[in-house]
């Protein structure tokens, strides 16, 4: 994930019994403001024996300020 802003929202599409993010959060989505690798472990609602995980690599682009061209008159 490459973000032009200084924050990003990482979320899980489906509903699960529990969520465990590498940040320590236990919610369906998290807000982040630092680049890095984030992961989430989830437990399925139908069977608590089914667990899944996913990893997100996040980087933030530096916004280049606009350039102004001034002409002599």
Reported as a single tens digit per residue, the pLDDT across 8-63 is 889 998 889 999 999 999 999 999 988 899 999 999 888 778 999 999 998 877 66
Contact yes or no for 8/30 (Cβ under 8 A): no
| pLDDT-based confidence at residue 73 (cuts at 50, 70, 90) | very low
pTM of the predicted protein model? 0.73
Which residues does 6 contact at the CB level (< 8 Å), separation at least 6? 33, 60
Which residues does 23 contact at the CB level (< 8 Å), separation at least 6? 30, 32, 38
Handedness of CA 11, 28, 20, 33 (dihedral sign): positive
Specify the higher pLDDT residue, 58 or 5.
Answer: 58
| pLDDT-based confidence at residue 68 (cuts at 50, 70, 90) | very low
Which residues does 27 contact at the CB level (< 8 Å), separation at least 6? 19, 21
């Amino acid at each position: 994930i490459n973000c032009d802003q200084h924050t990003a929202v990482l979320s899980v599409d489906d509903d699960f019994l529990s969520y465990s993010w590498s940040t320590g959060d236990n919610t369906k989505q998290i807000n982040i403001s630092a680049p890095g690798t984030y992961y989430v472990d989830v437990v399925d609602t139908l069977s608590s024996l089914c667990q899944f995980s996913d990893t997100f690599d996040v980087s933030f682009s530096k916004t280049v300020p606009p350039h102004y061209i001034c002409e002599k008159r």
